[in-house]
Every structure is written in structure tokens, then in C-alpha cells.
Structure 1
Amino acid sequence: MSSEIPVRQIDPSSDTSDNNKNTGTVDLYASRKKIYVKEVKGFFQRIRNVSLTALMGMYFLFVWITVDGQPLIHFDLPAREFHLYGATFYPQDFILLSGMLIICAFGLFFITTLFGRVWCGYTCPQTVWTFIFMWVEERIEGSRNKRMKLDKSPRSMEKVAKKSAKHSAWLLIALATGVTFVGYFYPIRDLITDLFTFQANGWAYFWVAFFTAATYLNAGWLREQVCLYMCPYARFQSVMFDPNTRVVSYDPNRGEPRGSRKKGIEPSELGLGDCIDCGQCVQVCPTGIDIRDGLQYECIGCALCIDACDEVMDKMNYPRGLIRYTTENELEGKTSKLLRPRTFGYGLVLLLMIVAIAFTIATRVPAQLDVLRDRGALFSFNGDGRVENTYTLKVSNMSEIPQTFAISVSGMEGIRLLTEDTITVASSENRSLPTVVDVAPEDISESNNAIVFRLESQSDESLVLETESRFVGPTR
């Protein structure tokens, strides 16, 4: 960022232990302080509720949907088949996975240059599950003040009951998350039956337990620690920011100096800005920062502080937008540019990758032919005095139905096929077929000749496979 970073002098003895107060030293490690997030309602929270509902709905429902008896999404690792939205992919299609990962990466870069960490605030799985866990906590233990009071109170039946109910609810959500995740690799209906009848294999139990524990710990206990210290995106996001990036920001020109006042009094009469220093923006922040201190890498762009501040501004009859999505240039009274070289570059690469992957999928042939020439012998003469070459045809059927192919070979005068002229390949099967072809010596003009193997499907006229190989013969 081009603006200067404010520096604040801190008393070394103000936040240390009693022993360190006497020496003036500072601890390099500070224990985590629990963040009590206050519930807030508003425009951006409604957007998050919609995105959260949509994402959770897709996650928990897609695993149950089938198309023609096949799960909508199923990663069948033992069979090395990946079923996605009615299409089946195989390890040979790994390039598509690489392309999709590149699309996701540049999509994230493109969005970040425009709107900062908006992905983190609305669609990141860590955010989605954390907000669900916080909602459960709010319903069971009460408001922010009640939760703080409950944690400080001595152990009692009420405290034990509320804590037990909260953690039980968390574990149930985590268990549902773990079972659903494994259900994308192990058909969900079979998985649930096998789990409760103890017929599932050990790996199924392990992964269900692993993702249950991971969800419970990440969303229930670690929360903002994942965003601050474990997620690499928090560290490298700054390289994609510039003065035109629209992020959650506090307007110091309008808000400073801060100060409390009664409703109905104009801030100018007291020599104050619009910020009444209520601290609501800090109380609703899931990462515990004060947005008024400027842009910080801990900010996940969730906009809860915007909703909280707008609510206060409404009560004070002040205009909304003291905290808002804005850019550094706009805060300095300059004009912001939506399209700039960095944004254009990311967008162009993203568009090209989307077009390339879409074209690859649209033109993807549901079968594949590879021809391997026998390198153990260059050529041989058969009983008819003709020159023979030996090959192995490898046919992969990536369609959902068996395919029978008629085999032919061309490229040289008088070339003929001596072995089977048809091959049947079951769905998802890879078959190898030894094949011998021969040519009359007088028809061989070169020692190394190009030939073409052609496979035509007998059930689908449009499915034709051709692969070039080489025929080796004696030099005339």
C-alpha cells in the first residue's frame, strides 16, 4: 500500500508478567485470548446466510443424488474412476484436473485484486463451518455477554449442561461432515449401512474419524487461528493488493477524532468525527481486530463490522458507510480503476483456461487407442514370404457402455491384418491385443514406413480411433 503505516509506542511492561515488569522485557509468545463474537444482522450478513445455505446444501445433498444409477459426484479410487455430473473421468484425464486447479488459482487471484479476501469472508469452508459453530454456540449459551459471564462463572449444573449441549451439537455436525466427505469416495448409502453394522473397512472408520476431529477442532476451537497462522492465503494476499483493491475499510477522514456523545448532537459541535467509539466493530469481528487501525492481514473481508457500524449510524441518524467496502484511492479522494494491467492479466489467463478446459471436455473422445510396436525384432518373414511386424493395441473404453471395434490398417500397398479384426472392450476397461500385419516385399519402398491403425465402433458410427505407427522392412 502506498500510505504510511501508523506507529504506536507501546509500554514494554504493560502486557507482561509480574516478573517481566521489573526487568522491562517483552514476552515473544502471548497466549491466545478467546474471541467472543457478537451476533449482528444486516445486509452483508444476509448475503453470507444465502451463500452458507447454498454451499452447505450442495455439500450435504449432492452426495445423495444419483444420475442413471450413478452418484452425481463419486471418486471411485479402487476402480480409478471419477464420476462428476454424469461424466466419467479416468487417470488419463489428469490434465483436466491440473487445468481446473489452475482455473481455481487464477480465479482466486482475479477476485482478490478486485475485492480482497471476499472469498474468505463468504465461501471459504473454514468460514462456513466456523459461522455454523458460532451460530450453535449463540443459540445454546446465549449472547456475547452471557457467554463471557458463563466462562468466568464457577462450575455449576447449568454451565456443565450448556457446555455439554454445545460440544455435543458440534460433534454431531462434525460427524455429519466427516461421513458426508467420505461418502464422496464410498457410496453414501452403503457407507452409512456398513458403518453402523460394522461392515466398513478400517480406512472408512479412520477417515470418518479424522474429518470429524478436524472439523470439530478447526471450527470449534482453532477458528481464527486457522485464518491467521495456518492458511497461506493470509500471507501472500498482500502481493495481489493495490490502491484500487476494494476492501473493508474505516474512513478516518469522516470518523476522526472519535468520541462518545448523545444522540441528536452534531459531531461538529463537539469537534468530533462520526465514530462514537462504541467498539461494536471490534465485538463482531471473528478475528478480533479493530478495523479502525487500518488494513490488516487478519481481516477476512466478512463485512460484519460494516453491518454493525451501519446499525449504529442508523441509531445516531448519521449517514451509513463509515466502515464500508472501498479502496485506498477513494479514501484519499482519488479515482479508482476497476480494470488495470494486473486485473486484466489474471482475467485473461482465467478466460483462456476456462475456454481450453471447456473445449477439451466438449471434444473429449470416450475411448483411446495406443499402439506399441514390438521392438524385440525389427521384422520377420512368414511362410508366404511376406514381411511381418508385430504390435500391441491398447484400447481404453471410457464410456458407460461396452464397445466393439472393427480393426483395420492402412498406409502401405497390400498391407493386411493377420490377427483378430474386432475387439470388444467393456465399460471402464483397458484391453491389450497382440496384432500382426504383413506386406509383400515388393510393396516395401522404404525401410521405415508410416501406417495407420483404425478402430471403428460398431455401435456408434461417430466413434473412430486412429493412431499412426511405423512398419519396418528390408531395404530394397
Structure 2
Amino acid sequence: MSSQIPVREIDPATDDASNKKKKAGNVDHYANRKKIYTRSVKGFFQRIRFVSLWALMGMYFLFCWIQVGGEPIIHFDLPAREFHLFGTTFFPKDFILLSGMLIIAAFGLFFITTLFGRIWCGYTCPQTVWTFIFMWVEEKIEGSRNKRIKLDKAPNSASKSVKKASKHAVWLLIAFATGLTFVGYFYPVRELLADLFTLQANGWAYFWVGFFTVATYTNAGWLREQVCLYMCPYARFQSVMYDEDTRVVAYDYNRGEPRGGRKKSADPAELGLGDCIDCGQCVQVCPTGIDIRDGLQYECIGCALCIDACDQVMERMNYPTGLIRYVTENELEGKPSKFLRPRTFGYGAALVAMIAAIAITLVMRVPVELDVLRDRGQLYQMNGRGMLENSYTLKVQNMTEVPQTFRISVSGPESTQLITRDEIQLDPGANRTLPTVVEISPESLTQSRTDIRFRIESQGQPPLSAETESRFIGPSR
């Protein structure tokens, strides 16, 4: 028996709703938003979400406070153009690494989507995480689903005002903590907190804290599912990554239909009914307000709330669980399902290749930079000892977290040597420009342009080194 969704044909000539619209002379193309009141539910997948939610929130709110050696482990210092991540400093020239990491994140998302649908949205998306926190606060203050519905319908009163004001106050507090933490990754959070409340912070700090406070409060408190339905592009293009073997949240139509109410002791087969008792629990717990029994919809974020709700009902009815479950289309139709297939191999191979490329780049990255610019104002000059001289400008950058002392050397034809200082000290993240002069005996030159190499090497542990090539100009031969 194939898995199909029942449809009801509507005759415009006889349908009451259609006739009413026709008489009114217009058709509603846009419906006003209907507030969604979600019912609380517990279960296996909600325990998974609880762990992922608090793990992610813990990392977000704590990482900006953790310091190693007096420096935050994550700090994006935009004025200095330095980005400190877990003891490693990156600079604008390392943006290729950022691009690679974004590509890894994209292919990782595609790979997971082909296997498990929108599992990212259901368990780790920031919009989902903060929305669930705001919904939890709302339930703790205003009560269960039925109590919230009654509260909104009730006339204004002191009790209602206190509950509403308390809810929004807690929402704003969470939103402010979110904005403060976000800015704290760019402006050391300990300094930021002190400067904000002593009015010593700059205007941009106040602006961005305020901006992210308002954005969090609006998105998680008011818009909620509207962000997922109308603002998130992922909901729109996810279908191109789905196939018959993608494991998604789905209702088993073959087992559940025809649906209908019955007593717990009744035999559904004798009543000609399926296992679905049409209780509506799956709809009441859905944060986007859809009915999963209508089939796969782009609004579904894969949160599995409907699975846990339905399993509880099935257990109370002494029916097998899994009427709503993570399942593939082929499995619903009784066909074999493949976990790995060409699409997943393609995304997986691209993901592994990008991870390997970034890992190799990070391993081979030397946290010191040397640039050499030859003085173009004068080709060469002869000094008092009969040696040819060329002038250069060396730019040395220390990209480590500790002070470094570098020794400078030059190699080339016999008699090549520096006649200026050969040592330079740099603070962490500092760079310095150093005028340098190189001399070579005229007898050592066989042509007018000769390759030479500059090298710097640190005296600390582990030793760091970098070298670059330049040209030495002499008389024409």
C-alpha cells in the first residue's frame, strides 16, 4: 500500500467558503498570523535537545570570560586587526582560513541534511535554541498551554499585567545578556561590563549591545516561527537536498489511517480505524504550528516534539510507538533504504577534502611573517671599502602570543653580508619595519641581477623561521 496523503476535492459552485469569498468580491491571499500556543512535552528527543541546548548556551556565555595568560581565549580585536582563537592569533591575511571554515560548515550542513533532514534546525540553530529558552520562560511564568490561552483571552487585570511584565522583563534580561556576550567577543567582556555601567564605553559598544538585545528579544520572543517560515533561506532550498532515503520526521499514514477517536479497550481493527486516535497532540506541541500528518512540509524544523508527544499517546493506548518517527520515504513504502548514496558520497568527499586542506594549512602555518622591499630610489652604491651596497626595507611580524627575538641573516654569493643590525625584538602581535643594507664584493657578482635570500629565526622555543627572496643589483656585465 503506497503512502499517500488524502485530499478532498472542492467544488467552487457548492463550497460554502468559496461562495462566501465570491460574494465578498475578493480572495484572501495573505492570512493574519495566528499565535501558536505550544504544549510542553517530555521524551527521548527532548532530552537530547536539553543537552545540546545547554551545552551550546554554556559555550556561548562562558567562552568570552575564560582567559589564558591574562588574554581571552576568543577575542576578535578589530582595531588591531587581530583575531585570537584558543591561543592562536590570526590576521587579515589568514582570511583564506575563514573562507575555508565557512565552506566546511556549508558542506557539513549539506551532508547532514541529505542524511537526516533539518536536524540542524531542530537541535542547534541559534533561532531554535533561543526560542525554546523564551518558550520555557513563558511557560514557567504564565503556566501551561491552556492557562496561557485563557490568560490572553482574559480581560486586563493586575495579575495578568504582573505575569506579562515579568515574562517580558526576563526576556529582556536574557536578550541583554545575549547582546552583552556577543559584543564581549570583540570588546573584552570584563572591560565592557565595567565601561557600560560607568558610561565609559564608546558609542558603538552601546549601539551593538542594544542592537543584539532588540534582535534577540524580537526574534525569539515575538517572531519565533516566522523567522523559520519566512526569513530563513534554508527552509526554501532544503528540498533540493532531500531524496527518498533522507531520514525525516514523518507520519506513518499506512499505519495511522483512517484516524479516529476510540476507547482504550477498543480494537481499532474492529472499528475499521488505524492507530491514530486524532488527539491533536502532535499539532499542539509543534513550534511552527503544522500538522505533520499532512506530510512533509517546509515549515517542519525536525525538532521531533511531535514524535515524543505521539509516543506518549501510543504508550497510554498500549499501541506500538513510532507512528510518527524519523523515517525515509522508501521505508514508509516498504522499500529498502540506503544510508550512503552518490549524493552523500559527493558532499562527504568535499567535506573531507576541505577539512584536510584546512588542517594541513593550520599545521604548516608559521606564526611569523617576513616581507622585503628593495629600495627603488637607488640601484646600488659603492662604499669606502670597495663593496657594492643595496638598501632594503624589512617588515617583520610576530604572530605569536609571546614576545620574540629574531635574528636576521642573508645568503647569496660569497661575501654577502648585512652591514646593519641583525637582531630585532617584537612584542606579541607586533610588527616592525627595519631598514637594512646588504653588501657584496663586486668580484662575487657574475651578472647585474643576483638572487639573495633573507631569513629570520627566533631564539625561543620552539624556534620559528621565515625566509623570502629578493634581488641584488650591481653594475651591468
Question: TM class, shorter-chain normalised?
Answer: over 0.9
Shift of 1:295: 0.6
Do the aligned residues in 2 keep the contact of 1:75 with 1:81 (CA within 8 Å)? yes
Shift of 1:24: 5.3
Match in the other structure for 2:182: 181
1:346 and 2:381 matched: no
CA distance 1:212–1:469, change in 2 (3 Å): same
Match in the other structure for 1:97: 98
Match in the other structure for 1:336: 337
The secondary structure found in structure 1 opposite 2:128 is: helix
> Partner amino acid for 1:375?
R
Do the aligned residues in 1 keep the contact of 2:370 with 2:468 (CA within 8 Å)? yes
Do the aligned residues in 2 keep the contact of 1:306 with 1:321 (CA within 8 Å)? yes
Shift of 1:357: 1.9
CA distance 1:97–1:137, change in 2 (3 Å): same
Instruction: Return the TM-score normalized by structure 1.
Output: 0.95
Match in the other structure for 1:459: 460
Give RMSD over aligned pairs: 2.1
Do the aligned residues in 1 keep the contact of 2:450 with 2:472 (CA within 8 Å)? yes
> Partner amino acid for 1:106?
F
The secondary structure found in structure 2 opposite 1:25 is: coil
What is the alpha-carbon distance in structure 1 between the residues aligned to residue 187 and residue 301 of structure 2? 34
CA distance 1:175–1:461, change in 2 (3 Å): closer
The secondary structure found in structure 2 opposite 1:342 is: helix
Do the aligned residues in 2 keep the contact of 1:418 with 1:437 (CA within 8 Å)? yes
Match in the other structure for 2:33: 32
Count of aligned residue pairs for this structure pair: 474
5+ residue gaps, structure 1: none
Match in the other structure for 1:241: 242
Match in the other structure for 1:318: 319
Percent identical among aligned pairs is: 73
What is the alpha-carbon distance in structure 1 between the residues aligned to residue 265 and residue 403 of structure 2? 79
Match in the other structure for 1:226: 227
What is the alpha-carbon distance in structure 1 between the residues aligned to residue 95 and residue 372 of structure 2? 21
CA distance 1:8–1:215, change in 2 (3 Å): farther
What is the alpha-carbon distance in structure 1 between the residues aligned to residue 8 and residue 235 of structure 2? 23
What is the alpha-carbon distance in structure 2 between the residues aligned to residue 288 and residue 9 of structure 1? 24
> Partner amino acid for 1:263?
K
Deviations 1:245-265 (A, max 9, x none): 100000111111111111121
The secondary structure found in structure 1 opposite 2:410 is: strand
Match in the other structure for 1:386: 387
Deviations 1:285-309 (A, max 9, x none): 0000110111111000000000010
Match in the other structure for 1:425: 426
Bigger shift: 174-183 or 85-94?
85-94
Map 1:181-220 → 2, pairs under 5 A? 181-220=182-221
> Partner amino acid for 1:239?
V
Match in the other structure for 1:126: 127
Match in the other structure for 1:375: 376
What is the alpha-carbon distance in structure 1 between the residues aligned to residue 60 and residue 18 of structure 2? 45
The secondary structure found in structure 2 opposite 1:361 is: helix
Match in the other structure for 1:305: 306
Do the aligned residues in 2 keep the contact of 1:417 with 1:436 (CA within 8 Å)? yes
5+ residue gaps, structure 2: none
Match in the other structure for 2:252: 251
Do the aligned residues in 2 keep the contact of 1:16 with 1:27 (CA within 8 Å)? no
Bigger shift: 383-392 or 359-368?
383-392
> Partner amino acid for 1:145?
N
Do the aligned residues in 1 keep the contact of 2:5 with 2:294 (CA within 8 Å)? no
What is the alpha-carbon distance in structure 2 between the residues aligned to residue 206 and residue 51 of structure 1? 31
Shift of 1:48: 0.6
What is the alpha-carbon distance in structure 2 between the residues aligned to residue 278 and residue 122 of structure 1? 26
Match in the other structure for 1:404: 405
> Partner amino acid for 2:186?
F
Do the aligned residues in 2 keep the contact of 1:243 with 1:327 (CA within 8 Å)? yes
Do the aligned residues in 1 keep the contact of 2:117 with 2:248 (CA within 8 Å)? yes
Shift of 1:446: 2.3
> Partner amino acid for 1:43?
F
Match in the other structure for 1:75: 76
Deviations 1:2-23 (A, max 9, x none): 98887654677877997x4514
Do the aligned residues in 2 keep the contact of 1:393 with 1:435 (CA within 8 Å)? yes
> Partner amino acid for 2:132?
F
Do the aligned residues in 2 keep the contact of 1:72 with 1:84 (CA within 8 Å)? yes
The secondary structure found in structure 2 opposite 1:164 is: helix
Deviations 1:203-226 (A, max 9, x none): 111111111111100000000000
What is the alpha-carbon distance in structure 1 between the residues aligned to residue 85 and residue 462 of structure 2? 26
Shift of 1:160: 1.2
Shift of 1:147: 0.9
Do the aligned residues in 1 keep the contact of 2:3 with 2:254 (CA within 8 Å)? no
Match in the other structure for 2:474: 473
Bigger shift: 213-222 or 431-440?
431-440
What is the alpha-carbon distance in structure 2 between the residues aligned to residue 475 and residue 70 of structure 1? 55
Do the aligned residues in 2 keep the contact of 1:445 with 1:475 (CA within 8 Å)? no
Do the aligned residues in 2 keep the contact of 1:249 with 1:295 (CA within 8 Å)? yes
Deviations 1:99-142 (A, max 9, x none): 11111111111111110000000011100010011011111111
The secondary structure found in structure 1 opposite 2:206 is: helix
What is the alpha-carbon distance in structure 1 between the residues aligned to residue 34 and residue 360 of structure 2? 51
